[in-house]
Amino acid sequence: MTVVREVPRRCVVWFGQPESHEQAELIRAGWNLRIADVAEPGGVGMRRGDTVVALADLRQGGADRLHALELMMADHAWLPWLTLLSAELPTQDPQVARVLLASVDFFTAPLDLQRLLDKLTLIGSNHLPVGHADIGGMTGRSAAIQAVVASIRKYAPVDLPVLITGETGAGKEVAARALHELSARRHRPFAAINCGALAPNLVQSELFGHERGSFTGANARRIGHFESAAGGTVFLDEVGDLPLDAQTNLLRFLQEGTLERVGSSQSISVDVRVLAATHVNLEQAVEQGRFREDLYYRLNVLRLHMPALREREDDVVLLAQHFLDSFREHHNSCARGFSHAARQALRSFAWPGNVRELLNRVQRAAVVAEDVMITAADLDLEDAAQLHAMRLSLGLSRISAERDAVVACLRESRFNISECARRLKVSRVTVYRLCKKHQLELEQLR
Ligand SMILES: Nc1ncnc2c1ncn2[C@@H]1O[C@H](COP(=O)(O)OP(=O)(O)O)[C@@H](O)[C@H]1O
Ligand SMILES: [Mg+2]
Digit-coded pLDDT (tens) for 170-180: 999 999 999 99
Ligand 1 pocket mutation pick from 355, 357, 359 by most atoms within 8 angstroms of CB: 355
Q: What is the pLDDT of residue 125?
A: 63
| Whether 126 contacts 267, CB under 8 Å | no
Closest Cα to atom 9 of ligand 1: 171
Question: Averaged over 133-155, what is the pLDDT?
Answer: 83
Q: Is 358 in the pocket of ligand 1 (CB under 6 A)?
A: no
Least confident of 78-82, 200-204, 272-276, 355-359: 78-82
Specify the higher pLDDT residue, 123 or 236: 236
Q: For 409-427, write each residue's pLDDT tens digit.
A: 999 999 999 999 888 878 8
Q: What is the pLDDT of residue 47?
A: 56
| Whether 183 contacts 157, CB under 8 Å | yes
Q: How many helices (H) and strands (E) does the chain have?
A: 19, 14
pLDDT confidence tier of residue 134, bands split at 50, 70 and 90: low
Q: Is the pLDDT of residue 267 over 80?
A: yes
Q: Is the pLDDT of residue 5 over 70?
A: no
pLDDT confidence tier of residue 136, bands split at 50, 70 and 90: low
Tell me the C-alpha distance between 101 and 74, whole Å: 12
Q: For 382-403, write each residue's pLDDT tens digit.
A: 877 777 777 777 777 777 788 8
Q: Nearest-5° angle of CA 364, CA 367, CA 370?
A: 120
Residue 291 CA: distances (Å) to CA of 15, 63, 255, 301: 64, 68, 17, 16
Ligand 1 pocket mutation pick from 356, 357, 358, 361 by most atoms within 8 angstroms of CB: 356
Find out whether the peptide bond into 8 is cis, omega within 30 degrees of 0.
no
Residue 245 CA: distances (Å) to CA of 160, 271, 301, 320: 23, 22, 22, 42
- Domain 327-388 falls in which CATH fold? Helicase, Ruva Protein; domain 3 (1.10.8)
Q: What is the pLDDT of residue 403?
A: 86
Q: Is 359 in the pocket of ligand 1 (CB under 6 A)?
A: yes
| Whether 164 contacts 304, CB under 8 Å | yes
Q: What is the pLDDT of residue 139?
A: 82
Q: For 296-352, write each residue's pLDDT tens digit.
A: 999 999 999 999 999 998 899 999 999 999 999 889 999 999 998 899 899 888 898
Q: Of 3.40.50.300, 1.10.3720.10, 3.40.50.720, 3.10.20.30, which CATH number belongs to 143-305?
A: 3.40.50.300
Tell me the C-alpha distance between 175 and 149, whole Å: 9
Q: For 27-51, write each residue's pLDDT tens digit.
A: 888 888 888 877 665 655 555 566 7
Q: Of 3.40.50.2300, 3.40.190.10, 3.30.70.260, 1.20.1260.10, which CATH number belongs to 10-125?
A: 3.40.50.2300
Q: What is the CA 165 to chain-centroid distance, rounded?
A: 17
Q: What is the pLDDT of residue 48?
A: 55
Q: Is 221 in the pocket of ligand 1 (CB under 6 A)?
A: no
Q: Pairing relation of β-strands 258-259 and 268-269?
A: antiparallel
Q: What is the pLDDT of residue 79?
A: 77
Tell me the C-alpha distance between 55 and 209, whole Å: 60
Specify the higher pLDDT residue, 3 or 40: 40
Q: Is the pLDDT of residue 129 over 70?
A: no
Ligand in nearest proximity to the CA of 169: 1
- What one-letter code names the amino acid at 153? R
Ligand 1 pocket mutation pick from 132, 134, 174 by most atoms within 8 angstroms of CB: 174
Question: Averaged over 135-145, what is the pLDDT?
Answer: 80
Q: Is the pLDDT of residue 123 over 80?
A: no
What mean pLDDT is reported for the chain? 86
Specify the higher pLDDT residue, 360 or 7: 360
Q: What is the pLDDT of residue 135?
A: 63
